[in-house]
């Protein structure tokens, strides 16, 4: 194994370990939400505040960004740089749109008097969904740095590998969102 292959193998292992810790983090946040979902303190529950059409739009945006990320990675591996740039731009722009919608949802709830201080239910909601949003923001930063680096240099095997890890991270965030959509919004809207 060459030194470069060893570095990539170590990075891949480290990244998988990181993803495992993120899985534990989100599992804890989901468990907390499930325990506190009825702890409304006499305030609103999910059925009173969740707007499923809005959340469906967010879901469509994030899933589309994941598809674009996968296409960007395939284009990068194939050396099709114009396709890579276009699909990475789509990925990042959709991610920014998603964050904007999430912030809009949070702002609307807070302006209506439903903040993380209102009840344990809302606290767990804001922490779970906000943590996911923070991960999306970090992913946007990471993807932007990779785009800038790849634009300045040739797409080396090391950079392609790093982008593959980014794409994996982005797909992971989609999986987490599907759980959030299902557990928090769909089931939560029935509570």
Over residues 63-109, the pLDDT tens digits come to 999 999 999 999 999 999 999 999 999 999 999 999 999 999 999 99
Is the pLDDT confidence value at 191 over 70?
no
Is the pLDDT confidence value at 16 over 70?
yes
Model pTM? 0.92
CATH architecture of 47-190: Up-down Bundle (1.20)
Cβ neighbour number for residue 82 with a 10 Å cutoff = 8
User: 37 — phi, psi (to 5°)?
Assistant: -60, -25
Whose tokens are 């990244």? That residue is 15
Residue 73, both tokens: 């990675």
> DSSP H helical segments within 37-51, as ranges?
46-49
| pLDDT value at residue 12 | 84
Residue 96, both tokens: 């920014």
Alpha carbons within 13 angstroms on the beta-carbon side of residue 64 total: 15
| pLDDT value at residue 7 | 77
Whose tokens are 């095997």? That residue is 157
Are the C-beta atoms of 121 and 40 separated by less than 8 Å? yes
Whose tokens are 């993803």? That residue is 19
| pLDDT value at residue 3 | 78
Question: Per residue in 114-152, pLDDT tens?
Answer: 999 999 999 999 999 999 999 999 999 999 999 999 988
> DSSP H helical segments within the chain, as ranges?
3-36, 46-49, 52-77, 81-111, 120-152, 157-179
Q: Find all residues with CB under 8 Å of 152, minimum gap 6, and list them.
A: none
Q: What is the mean pLDDT of residues 40-55?
A: 91
């Amino acid at each position: 194994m060459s030194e470069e292959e060893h570095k990539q193998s170590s990075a891949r292992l480290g990244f998988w370990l990181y993803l495992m810790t993120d899985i534990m983090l989100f599992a804890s946040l989901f468990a907390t939400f499930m325990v506190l979902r009825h702890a409304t303190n006499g305030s609103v529950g999910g059925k009173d505040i969740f707007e499923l059409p809005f959340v469906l739009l967010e879901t469509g945006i994030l899933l589309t960004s994941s598809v674009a990320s996968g296409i960007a990675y395939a284009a990068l591996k194939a050396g099709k740089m114009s396709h890579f740039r276009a699909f990475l731009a789509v990925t990042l722009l959709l991610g920014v749109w998603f964050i904007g919608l999430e912030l809009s949802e949070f702002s609307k709830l807070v302006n209506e008097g439903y903040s993380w201080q209102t009840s344990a239910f809302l606290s767990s909601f804001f922490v779970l969904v906000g943590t996911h949003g923070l991960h999306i923001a970090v992913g946007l930063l990471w993807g932007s740095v990779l785009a800038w680096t790849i634009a300045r240099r040739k797409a080396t095997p090391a950079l392609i590998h790093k982008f593959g890890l980014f794409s994996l991270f982005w797909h992971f965030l989609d999986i987490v969102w599907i759980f959030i959509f299902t557990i928090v919004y769909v089931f939560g809207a029935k509570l």
